[in-house]
Amino acid sequence: MRFAIIGAGAIGAYVGAALARAGSDVTLVARGPHLRAMQERGVSVLSARGDFHARPVATDDCSEIGVVDCLIIALKAHQIAAMLPAMASCMGPNTQVIAMQNGVPWWYFQEHGGPLEGTVLQTVDPGGLLAKAFDPKRVIGCAVYCSTEILEPGVIKHIEGTRFSLGHPSGEVSPELKAIAAAFVEGGLKAPIETDLRRDVWIKLLGNVCLNPISALTRATLEDMATDRLVEPLLREMMEESYAIARRLGVHLDISIDKRIDGARRVGAHKTSTLQDIEAGRALEIDCIVGAVVEIGGLLDLPVSATRHVYALTKLLDTTTQRIANDRLRARELVVGA
């Protein structure tokens, strides 16, 4: 089976290396020093489960790849639209598209069957570009329960988790889905097939919707937030708002808010991906995680005041952080030019 992984960062390179070591034909699409290291030396994975090394093909040019059986998109949500023209060269009439996306995915209301069937969330897919580009019958959602980081170019540290839950928006279990899940398993990953992946979306979102933005605003770890007497009630309020939306959409969540907060507390001094992005000066993946909840709440006429306020603050933080980063870049360019 031929795979192309668009956005082979920490997660994408880890998945690609796992698939390649089991014999799948894998091409990683990346850029910069990380790309050059993978081209020269392959991908090295360091893990308590056992270190391993693989040599998938790596490129920055999608046109070199050709049509694949499965296109894995491991980009952040706000990066996908810009890559659509390049990705088109990898897609044929039977290519399956796996969306490894945080928050509410663009396909959420496709093949949904509920009152919001076909709704395009502007916080997730402005202008509906992704909904138009990908046939929902060939889309495979993916809930990622895995933590990795790039230690250095070409070297991935696997921290915890190997589960990548997979499922079509319609709940159908197609032969293609079974074959892809089998390839994941052969690579040493867990790949349960879910007939209702939207439940996984909301279970992950319960924590991410509050922990990610508040960590960026406060520079706090999971343990800091879950044990703070002033912040913990805010986490709870935002989770309650998301719970209400999930229930209205017909999603049953069998995890309590107490258990979700306790889980964050037990993880300890871990930085969320959003906090890591702030510290690195990167644009925040906040619209699909927090903005989408606010947007859906509005569509359903449900109150989401706590989530709305945190979203507004985090959006402003993102704007000012990017402005400062751009100002510094221009200043360096002026110094070099002088």
199-325: CATH architecture: Orthogonal Bundle (1.10)
User: Tell me, what amino acid is at 143?
Assistant: A
What is the C-alpha to C-alpha distance for residues 111 and 236, in angstroms, rounded to an integer?
31
Q: What is the pLDDT of residue 332?
A: 80
CA 235 from chain centre, in angstroms, equals 21
What is the C-alpha to C-alpha distance for residues 150 and 64, in angstroms, rounded to an integer?
25
User: Tell me, what amino acid is at 191?
Assistant: A
What is the C-alpha to C-alpha distance for residues 232 and 217, in angstroms, rounded to an integer?
15
Q: What is the pLDDT of residue 114?
A: 84
* 32, 278, 327 from 330: Cα distances, Å: 20, 19, 5
What is the C-alpha to C-alpha distance for residues 79 and 249, in angstroms, rounded to an integer?
27
- Tens-place pLDDT, residues 296-319: 999 999 999 999 999 999 999 999
Q: Is this structure's pTM higher than 0.85?
A: yes
What is the C-alpha to C-alpha distance for residues 48 and 123, in angstroms, rounded to an integer?
38
Tokens at residue 117, please? 């069937």
Tokens at residue 328, please? 């510094």
- What single DSSP character describes residue 78? G
- What single DSSP character describes residue 270? P
Q: What is the pLDDT of residue 333?
A: 78
Domain ranges of the chain: 2-195, 199-325
2-195: CATH architecture: 3-Layer(aba) Sandwich (3.40)
Provide the sign of the torsion angle of the four alpha carbons 150, 317, 123, 89, taken in this order. negative
- What single DSSP character describes residue 193? B
Q: What is the pLDDT of residue 325?
A: 82
**Cα angle 250, 255, 261; round to 5:** 125
Q: What is the pLDDT of residue 280?
A: 86
Nearest to 171 by CA among 204, 194, 192, 199: 194
Residue 287 burial (10 A CB sphere; 0-12, 13-18, 19+): buried
β-pairing verdict for 155-167 and 139-152: antiparallel
| Residue 264, phi-psi category: left (phi > 0), alpha (psi -120 to 50), beta (remainder) | alpha
- Tens-place pLDDT, residues 70-125: 999 999 999 999 999 999 999 999 999 999 989 999 999 999 988 899 999 999 99
Going residue by residue through the chain, which has 338 residues, state the pLDDT in tens, using 9 for 90 and above: 999 999 999 999 999 999 999 999 999 999 999 999 999 999 999 999 999 999 999 999 999 999 999 999 999 999 999 999 999 999 999 999 999 989 999 999 999 988 899 999 999 999 999 999 999 999 999 999 998 989 999 999 998 899 999 999 999 999 999 999 999 999 999 999 999 999 999 999 999 999 999 999 999 999 999 999 999 999 999 999 999 999 999 999 989 999 999 999 988 888 898 998 999 888 999 999 999 999 999 999 999 999 999 999 999 999 999 898 888 878 887 777 66
Strands laid side by side in the 155-167 sheet = 52-54, 43-47, 155-167, 139-152, 96-99, 70-73, 2-6, 25-29, 57-59
Would you name the residues annotated as active-site residues? Answer: 204
Tokens at residue 210, please? 């509050």
